[in-house]
Every structure is written in C-alpha cells, then in structure tokens.
Structure 1
Amino acid sequence: MQPYIISLLNHSKENLIDLWKKELEAVRTDNYLDSVSDSVYESTNQDFMQFIMRLISTDQDQAKEQLSSFAEKYIQSGWPLSYYTQGLQAFRRVILAILSEQESDVQAVLSTFNELETWIDGIINQLVYDYTGNWEDIIEMQKLSLLELSAPLIPVFESITVMPLIGTIDTARAKLIMENLLEGVIEHRSQVVLIDITGVPVVDTMVAHHIIQASEAVRLVGATCILVGIRPEIAQTIVNLGIDLSKFPTKSTLRKGIETALELTNKKMVNL
C-alpha cells in the first residue's frame, strides 16, 4: 500500500474506528450473534479492528502469515466467517465516507479507494481461503474419527469377539473393517469373530463381497468368522442376488451366533 494512504488512514484512525464500530453493530444482528454477550462481542470487535489497522502498515508476506494465524484462532472458537467479510465491507464503506469528506477531487478519491479496495479484497480472499482449508481439515479429521468408531471390535468372551456394523458399507469403510478385524483377531487372540450386520440397512453384492473378503482374511489368520443379524429381508436379497455365503456360518441373531461361538471354543452357557 502506498505510504500516503497509510499516513491518511493512521491520521484518521480514531474517526475511522468510531464509525466502523457503529457499522459492526448491524453486522452482529445479521450474523445471529445476539446470543453472544456484549463483553465478548465488544472484545472481538476490538481485536478485529485493531488487527486490521495493524495490517495497514505491515509487510505483505508478514500480513498474510498474521492473517492466517488470526483466522485459525477464530475458526477454532466457532466465530462465523460472514462476520469478518461483512465487517470488512463495513470498513470499506467507512473509508469511502472519510475519503469523500477529506478530499474534494473525485478522481483522487477514486484512485485512493481503488487501491484500498484491492487491499481489502485480498484480506477477504485470504480469510475465505483459510476458513475453507481449516474446515476441510476439521471435517476430514471428524470423518476419520467416525470411521474408526464405525468398525469397533469388541471382546465378549475369551477367544470370542464381536464386530457390530451400523449404516452403509462403502469401499473406504470396508477397508477399515478389514484392518480392524485382522488387528483385533491377533491382539485379542480370537478364535471366533462374529460380524453383526443387524444395523446394516442394505446388503447388496458389493457389501456381501466385502464381508466375504473380511471372512476369508480372518480364516487365513487362523480364526473362524460367523455372520449374524441375517434378517428375513436380507436373506431374501442374498438369495435373489445369488450371493454365496456358504463358506462361513450365518445366524439370524447375535445370541445364536454367540452360542455357536461358545461351542466352537469348547464353552457353553449354563443357567444358574
């Protein structure tokens, strides 16, 4: 930014801040921030305004780095991006009003304002970029966390573990199921693994293929796989599609599956 523009803004700093502060009150209502306490909103406004004023005289590379750090701080606190974009639009309006008061030459006003507008647009673009990137990272981390939780392997008896599956099984989740199964069988020294598909809404050829692959992998590491939770409609679908599940045992309920698993490990349930 040109030195004379920096000098102009610094010279009008107090007036600029006062006018901008009034504009930010309208931004609060537009962004549904009425539930935020007055003290928090006031503090955030001060941080925002002071930060932008510091950027005016900051080197471009340093400004970009500082802007990214600033954005990350408020992204993590859940502050909306629209507050900052609308706040910078308000800053733009205030600057134009001040320039119009101080300069009678229209061409000079437009020239100065165009440079300031380019500078403000750069800040907005950087904020949008940082917000988008951070939210994508957060969503990806949440997605991975959900995937990890969606394929748990639970030891229920000595040498017997259960993997309850809920929801749709896609290729990414099938890979995770396979990894968790193999790691869990070795970790828990399982002899029998029960895959419970009671919560799987649809079993098509792809889902059946993934389950068969998982069963084969378990067999190769020395354990037996039992498929449980075969509902009537699922059984009918499997038959209609011609899916061959004859290579490993299937049971209609988890209870029946556990009874079979106990028999395979030379154990049994006893009523006391």
Structure 2
Amino acid sequence: MEKILKDVVLDNSDEIVRMWIEQVKKNQGGAFYQSLSDEALENTNREFANAIFEGIQKGKIAKTPLDEFAEKLINLGWPLTYLTDGMQVFRRSVVKFIIHKWEDFDFSEADNYFELGDDYFPWVLEKVDEWVDPLVNELVSEYSGSWENIVSLQRMALQELSAPLIPVMDNITIMPLIGTIDTERAKMVMESLLDGVIKHNAEVVLIDITGVPVVDTMVAHHIIQAAEAVRLIGSRCILVGIRPEIAQTIVNLGIDLGKFPTKSSLRKGFQTALELTNREIVEGMNREEEIENLIESLDRSEEE
C-alpha cells in the first residue's frame, strides 16, 4: 500500500509542485528574495521541486540530487531557511493533496487497506514523514558540511593574511598587524615571526601596530613574548605605531616595553633599523643642484 501511495504522489507531481510553488512564493517576502528576479526565483523553485521528487523516488542512497542542489545554493549565497521552509511546505502540500484526493485513489489491490478504515490520516502523515524527514536531514547535513568547508577555507585565507612578514631590505623585515589580536592570532604571529626571521635572514623586525585598535595587557604580553622569541634566535624587534592613546594605555597598565625599541611611526622605526644594520640615509641632490654643480665645475675648468 505504501508503494501505491508513493506512485500516486510521483504520478501527480505536477499538481503537487503547483501547490507547493504557490505556498512557497507566499513565504518568500524577505529582503533576500526581493533582490532576485522572478525568473531566477521561479527556476530555483522548479529545480528544488524536481530534486525533492528525485530524492523520494530514489529513496535512501548515498547521494541524491538534493546534495548538489544544496551545494549550489550555498555557493550562490542562499539561506538555509529556503531549504528547510521549502521542505516543510512540501510536506504539507503532499499531505493536503493526498487527503483531498483520497477517495479517488484505487487501493483495491493494496494489502491491509481495509485495516485502516476511516483512520487513514495518521498513517498518511507517518508515511509522508518517512519520505520527507530523511531528505530534510540530508539537506541540513549537506548545507552544514559545505558551509563549514567554506568557513574553513576562508579562515585559512585570513590566517595567511593576519600575520604577514614583508622583507623590505636585506636583513630588515616588517610585520604590519591590523585588527584585534587574540590568543590564537598571537600564536600565529609568533610562528610567522620566527619562520620569517630564519627564512629572510632578518636582523631587525619592525612590528607595526598602527592598525591595532586596542592594546591591553594581553596584547602587550603577546607582543613582548614574540619579541623575546625573536631575540633568542639572534634578531631584534622594534615596535612601531605607538599612538598617543596607546602610549597612555601602556603607561596606565604598567606594561614594561623597555626591552626593545619603540617608535611612533614606521618611518622612524625604519631609520632605527638602518642604524642597527650599520646603514644610514643619504639625501641625494635634486636636479637643479646637480645642474648648478655641473656649471660651476665647468666654469672652474675654463678658468684654469
């Protein structure tokens, strides 16, 4: 009897889809759906309905069209509520169709049909739940798994950008830090510093905290630890980007940053790094001075 009921639903899929789409459209009044064209929404709804019926027809298998459909929606930025709400509307649409058409169904060859009598409604609900619930679980699982994978990839990309080490000259590198520094990121900063110092053979590392909004005791502690670790492998750290408000905070908190140089700007820090690596900045003459010196040298040659 269950097979006959499923065959009836599949054979009347067009009418059920029509009922389903009418109800789904009523629920799609949010800002996200308003940004979509009617054609895109209609096509997605049709594709969703087809995937549901294919899932019901194939039953419990390793992978159904709903998996690919859910993955596609994630990549397009559709919300999970579209899937879950759509499945609940589908459940109600199927039950409503079966109840309204029950008298038209031919169950004469079905086993145990007469045992149901007039109490067929609970049985219909149970059977529809058996079809729909696995699909709902499958959709949520696929959506969650794909979303976690996307978040993981984004986290890895952010981690690569969260503690960059940039070599600017021989033996001098800069690490610009932007945003909040928590314990996890501080660990990445230290690892990146130590690896970068060895890789670039850096004698001086400039840690630029201009883009760090708040420097509290924990942040300062992490920076001191990183600088100390760099010192232990034979290099020096210069902390740059000390804004007046950060300097005041550091003083009020009683944080000791006296073990390594601090500068208010990256420019001043770079000048100090040049001095520590036995370099200096030599200002060249501008074009006019070069021409004047050349004319003076020619005049002296003529006089001689």
For the criterion TM > 0.5, the same-fold answer is yes
Counterpart in 2 of 1:9? 9
User: 2:245 matched to 1:233?
Assistant: yes
Deviations along 1:17-46, one digit per CA (max 9) or x if unpaired, are 332233333244357423323332232222
Contact 1:31 1:82 survives alignment (8 Å): no
Separation (CA, whole Å) in 1 of partners of 2:13 and 2:264: 75
What amino acid maps onto 1:157 in structure 2? M
Counterpart in 2 of 1:47? 47
What amino acid maps onto 2:230 in structure 1? V
Separation (CA, whole Å) in 1 of partners of 2:131 and 2:59: 12
Q: How does 1:156-167 map to 2 (within 5 A)?
A: 156-167=168-179
Separation (CA, whole Å) in 1 of partners of 2:14 and 2:247: 75
Identity within the alignment, %? 52
Q: How does 1:63-212 map to 2 (within 5 A)?
A: 66-104=65-103, 106-212=118-224
Separation (CA, whole Å) in 2 of partners of 1:41 and 1:233: 52
Cα distance change of structure 1 residues 17 and 232 upon mapping to structure 2, 3 Å threshold = closer
Q: Shift of residue 111 of structure 1?
A: 1.0
Counterpart in 1 of 2:61? 61
Deviations along 1:177-197, one digit per CA (max 9) or x if unpaired, are 111111222222211111112
Contact 1:190 1:223 survives alignment (8 Å): yes
Runs of 4+ in 1 over 6 A off after TM superposition: none
Cα distance change of structure 1 residues 174 and 59 upon mapping to structure 2, 3 Å threshold = same
Contact 2:54 2:64 survives alignment (8 Å): no
- Listed as ranges, the gaps of 5+ residues in structure 2 are 104-116, 285-304
Separation (CA, whole Å) in 1 of partners of 2:13 and 2:88: 17
Separation (CA, whole Å) in 1 of partners of 2:133 and 2:31: 20
- Listed as ranges, the gaps of 5+ residues in structure 1 are none
Contact 1:148 1:176 survives alignment (8 Å): no
Give TM-score, length-normalised by structure 1: 0.88
User: Once structures 1 and 2 are overlaid, which stretch shifts more, 255-264 or 69-78?
Assistant: 69-78
Separation (CA, whole Å) in 2 of partners of 1:16 and 1:118: 18
Separation (CA, whole Å) in 2 of partners of 1:65 and 1:221: 56
Contact 2:173 2:205 survives alignment (8 Å): yes
Counterpart in 2 of 1:220? 232
Three-state SS of the structure 2 residue aligned to 1:156 is strand
Contact 2:190 2:226 survives alignment (8 Å): yes
Deviations along 1:131-159, one digit per CA (max 9) or x if unpaired, are 23332332233233223212111222222
What amino acid maps onto 1:93 in structure 2? R
Counterpart in 2 of 1:22? 22
Contact 1:197 1:230 survives alignment (8 Å): yes
User: 2:256 matched to 1:244?
Assistant: yes
- Report the count of equivalent residues: 271
